């Protein structure tokens, strides 16, 4: 683990707040709490059943007033290494709010709803991550998401990453890109098979938008720009693409 990643993990463990700004000086990195469940469908069940089960859950979350977004990620481009049928990805504005959501599921009503989910899927991982936004998405809803496992080099520092992010955003602005980009840093419950420092995650609002982004990357100079900006800071592999169905998409700010 590199020096920068040790610092980031310590910061996440200290439960960084949703907006961390250093007394009007340079903006500090912002980390959102993210939880992920890796799940497989039980016999005779599928995505449609999963989505349907979220209807009662959504009504219940409305009652509780907890601020929480959730998506169901389904693998689209993947290898035989991919073992999960689906991933539940949840994001809250703070870790305190994330835990409020957990408490709502521990009530009698929450347990009844959880029992409905358990009839549909069996989940084998429950992990916590710190999400750093590199580029905000224009839309908060369904998406096509690309993930890569990335390892930071000894040259990487928070300042160098932020500087590269700004240049990348300027390049993407010139191409009218509307997708989002984030870095996910591992926290509690992340399995040992994850041997990278972070996940580099890019989203597009549709399959067509994803294809447009791929054209820009492959034939429009995007890959060359990324290599110039991040080549000395991190190396990435294990690229996979997911269809992300938004089951609850509200502002977390």
Q: How many residues are present in the chain?
A: 253
Mean pLDDT of 77-81: 92
- The model's confidence at residue 12, banded by pLDDT at 50, 70 and 90, is very low
Rounded distance, CA 243 to CA 86, Å? 10
State the chain's mean pLDDT as an integer: 88
pLDDT at 22: 32
- HEC readout, 220-250: CCHHHHHHHHHCCCEEEEEEEEEEEEEEECC
Chain segment 137-170, per-residue pLDDT in tens: 877 789 999 999 999 999 999 999 999 999 999 9
Q: DSSP 3-state assignment of 168?
A: helix
Mean pLDDT of 206-229: 92
Per domain, the residue ranges of the chain are 3-245
| In this structure, CATH architecture of domain 3-245 | 2-Layer Sandwich (3.30)
Rounded distance, CA 172 to CA 168, Å? 6
| DSSP code of residue 77 | E
- The model's confidence at residue 251, banded by pLDDT at 50, 70 and 90, is low
């Amino acid at each position: 683990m590199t020096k920068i990643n040790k610092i980031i993990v310590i910061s996440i463990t200290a439960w960084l707040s949703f907006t961390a700004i250093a007394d009007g000086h340079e903006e500090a990195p912002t980390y959102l709490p993210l939880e992920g469940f890796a799940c497989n469908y039980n016999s005779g069940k599928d995505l449609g059943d999963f989505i349907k089960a979220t209807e009662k859950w959504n009504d219940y979350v409305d009652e509780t007033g907890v601020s929480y977004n959730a998506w169901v990620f389904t693998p689209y481009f993947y290898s035989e290494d991919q073992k999960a049928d689906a991933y539940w990805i949840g994001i809250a504005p703070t870790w305190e709010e994330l835990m409020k959501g957990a408490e709502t599921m521990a009530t009698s009503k929450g347990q009844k709803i959880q029992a409905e989910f358990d009839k549909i899927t069996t989940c084998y991982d429950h992990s916590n991550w710190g999400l750093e936004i590199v580029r905000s998405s224009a839309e908060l809803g369904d998406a096509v998401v690309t993930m890569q496992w990335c390892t930071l080099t000894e040259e990487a520092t928070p300042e160098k990453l932020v500087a590269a992010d700004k240049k990348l955003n300027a390049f993407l602005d010139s191409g009218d890109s509307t997708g989002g980009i984030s870095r996910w840093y591992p926290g509690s419950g992340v399995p040992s098979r994850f041997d990278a420092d972070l996940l580099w995650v890019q989203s597009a609002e549709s399959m067509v938008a994803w294809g447009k982004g791929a054209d820009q990357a492959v034939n429009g100079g995007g890959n060359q720009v990324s290599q110039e900006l991040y080549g000395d800071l991190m190396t990435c592999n294990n690229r996979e693409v997911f269809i992300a169905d938004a089951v609850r998409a509200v502002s977390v700010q």
